Amino acid sequence: MKGFLSEHGIPYVERDVMEDAAALQELEELGVMTTPVVRVGEEVVVGFNRARLSALLGIGETPATPESCCCCR
């Protein structure tokens, strides 16, 4: 998630729910008990959903090839 956001120059604030009680409370209020969670405006994305994040952030993604994929090198 962090790599994806950084790769596209998207600023973000990382919050550790193990260390930040307010961040944990926000997740509980959303009814979410897993991470990662990204909020884009009023939209909430649970888990790393590349297509949804790309759409919300206006990022034109092309399918990854083994040469360009960070997990296939």
pLDDT (tens digit per residue) in 3-56: 999 999 999 999 999 999 999 999 999 999 899 999 998 999 999 999 999 999
In CATH, the number for domain 2-57 is 3.40.30.10
Q: Distance between CA 59 and CA 8 in Å, rounded?
A: 8
Q: What is the pTM of this model?
A: 0.71
Domain boundaries, the chain: 2-57
pLDDT (tens digit per residue) in 26-38: 999 999 989 999 9
Q: Distance between CA 65 and CA 36 in Å, rounded?
A: 24
